[in-house]
Amino acid sequence: MTDDTPPAGLSRIEVGVDGDSRSIAMLIRPAADGVDGPVLVWLGGYRSDMTGTKAVEMDALAGELGLAALRLDYSGHGQSGGEFRKGTISRWLEESLAAIATLAAREIILVGSSMGGWIALRAVAELKRSPAAPKVRGMVLIAPAPDFTSALIEPALGEAERRSLEERGYFEEHSEYSPEPNIFTRDLIEDGRQNRVLTGIIETGCPVHILQGMQDADVPYRHALMLVEHLPADDVVLTLVRDGDHRLSRPQDIERMRAAIKALV
């Protein structure tokens, strides 16, 4: 399902100060006239961008419903400035919150994919602390990867990767989705420890729908089960897709995402 309406024009915001400033690219779809509903906010995964299949389909759904939508590229991703190797969860969270702050919205729905699920969980905690911030009406987390640096990457490190982190400050790993290798830096891993969410009860204060493939080679479905255990106070739905992979971008997967978002709207 695609939307024939041209996407909203590219806009930019500057995040950070002095030598740490980076230009963050956003695509904002305005709401249809007379429609007063939540804004759909896309938070992408590691090395993904706002023109990926799921991001575009979320935007298309917003168009069908007359809702506003926000997509952004983290620094070092897509159309945004900044160096990828400087990226950390804290930096990408800061950029996401800055983009959300540009919205004149009372309510938002966070749609986070993979690492974006982690950023969404951190974002809802930060937004709850600000009386001026929009309320998070609900969350859709697709193959969420909270704490992936400490829970998934660090336990699997071999001697060569540990040596590379110590000597070069990063290590490389083959990517199934790109000819370029994945790069994981020491800063990313160390910062990840400071942003862990699977350390106690996560109080999002809103319904959460998790979509998880059971054939996910990147984020095992047991990781989603662990996340559910940390969300006991919320209205949580977990959909396990027996033949689903990490991307969950097939037509039937997109339909599940659309249905989950529409249920929150």
Q: Tens digits of per-residue pLDDT, 62-111?
A: 999 999 999 999 999 999 999 999 999 999 999 999 999 999 899 999 99
CA distance 155 to 177: 22
Share of the chain above pLDDT 70, in %: 97
pTM of the model: 0.93
Kindly tell me if the per-residue pLDDT of 1 is higher than 80: no
Q: In this structure, are strands 135-142 and 208-213 parallel, antiparallel, or unpaired?
A: parallel
255 phi, psi to nearest 5 deg: -60, -40
pLDDT digits (tens, 9 = 90+) for 175-184: 777 778 889 9
Question: Residue 25 above 50 pLDDT?
Answer: yes
Q: CA neighbours within 13 Å on the CB side: how many for 130? A: 15
**Using an 8 Å Cβ cutoff, are 229 and 255 in contact?**
no
User: Would you state the pLDDT for residue 174?
Assistant: 79
The candidate with the shortest Cα–Cα distance to 240, out of 215, 265, 217, is: 215
* Fold for the domain defined by 10-264: Rossmann fold (3.40.50)
User: What are the pLDDT digits (tens) for 113-149?
Assistant: 999 999 999 999 999 999 999 999 999 999 999 999 9
Cα–Cα distance for residue pair 215/41, rounded to 1 Å: 27
Question: 244: helix, coil or strand?
Answer: coil
Asked if 141 and 230 count as a contact pair (C-beta separation under 8 A), the reply is no
Higher pLDDT, 19 or 165: 165
What pLDDT was estimated at residue 177? Answer: 73
Say how far apart CA 212 and CA 111 lie, in whole Å.
Answer: 14
3-state class percentages of the chain: helix first, strand second, coil last, to nearest 5: 35, 20, 40
Percent pLDDT > 90 in the chain is 88
